[in-house]
Chains A and B, each alone.
Chain A
Amino acid sequence: MTLKDFISEENIHLNENFSSWQDAVRFAGNMLIGSGSINERYREDMVKMVETNGPYIVIMPGVALAHARPNGNVFKNQVALLTIPQGVNFGNKDNDPVHYLFAIAARTNKEHLVMFKAVAEFISEEKNLQALQEAVCLKDIEF
């Protein structure tokens, strides 16, 4: 399983800027709602996760992985991807600002790991992040 198994065109949005990290996470959540992958509760749970636990979801410089416990609010295993040229701060002093936001929706905890691994594999390749940075359209990215 790789990222392309979980990511579809309707869940990718390139080059959008946000005034707060909450706006960015909700934007990604709204894409997932639009594709029938989650409901509003999961979107808000992703926001609450950070409000409750802090900005640890910014797992490496420039990259955040928004997620929450499924709790029956996830209908399709999907990843949404947002690129943010100006970056948005989550309050993580080591890894801010975030330029690439992945919102991960998995139906079960087990599937969570498979999807996290797929995303991890993608972002561990420098050339993939480079492609995201330069991408103006979806064809510029190889998942």
Chain B
Amino acid sequence: MADLKVLTVCGAGVGTSTLLRVNVDEAFKSFALPFRVQVINTSMSRAKGTKCDLIITFETFSAEARSFCPSVVVIKNLMDKEELKTKIGAYLKEKKLI
């Protein structure tokens, strides 16, 4: 199984996406997957065109993210770890990864 490449995306790529990366990393770890998950935080302007499996971001960036990434998860509440886990779980199930 190849690595899963995940981008967390925000506007500046320094604050919110980094915090999101930390929480996303944690959420993926809780699934104890048999493959490596690489999570990278970035800004939308840098993310554009980057090859990736999944983008986790906020509503305001979702349309743009969908234009170049096959899967996009939209987060409403960055602090809600359950929301993150549920949505990542749904993605993994949809892709038959769990």
- A and B found bound together: yes
Name A residues whose Cβ lies closer than 8 Å to a Cβ of B.
Answer: 49, 52-57, 59-61, 63, 65, 67-70, 92-95, 104, 106, 109, 112-113, 116-117, 120, 123-124
Report which residue of B22, B78, B79, B80 has the largest number of chain A beta carbons within 10 angstroms of its beta carbon. Answer: B78
Number of interface residues of B (CB under 8 A): 21
**Which residues of chain B (52-77) have a CB below 8 Å from chain A?**
57-61, 76-77
Residue of A52, A61, A68, A69 touching B77 (CB-CB under 8 A): A61
CA distance A67 to B43 in the complex (A): 13
Stretch at the interface among B12-20, B29-37, B90-98: B12-20
Residues of A within 8 A of B58 (CB): 54, 56
CA distance A65 to B14 in the complex (A): 12
Q: Assuming A53-B44, A94-B76, A124-B79, is B15 touching A65 (CB within 8 A)?
A: yes
Residues of B within 8 A of A109 (CB): 14, 18
Closest chain B CB from A81 CB (angstroms): 16
Report which residue of B57, B60, B80 has the largest number of chain A beta carbons within 10 angstroms of its beta carbon. Answer: B60
* Contact indicator B12/A59 (Cβ below 8 Å): no
Residues of B within 8 A of A61 (CB): 77
Residues of B within 8 A of A120 (CB): 19, 78-79
CA distance A63 to B60 in the complex (A): 17
Residues of B within 8 A of A112 (CB): 14-15, 18
B47 within 8 A of A: no
Sample of 12 more A-B contacts, CB < 8 Å, known A69-B14, A116-B16: A54-B60, A56-B10, A56-B58, A57-B11, A59-B79, A61-B77, A65-B15, A93-B59, A106-B14, A109-B18, A113-B18, A116-B15
Residues of A within 8 A of B10 (CB): 53, 56
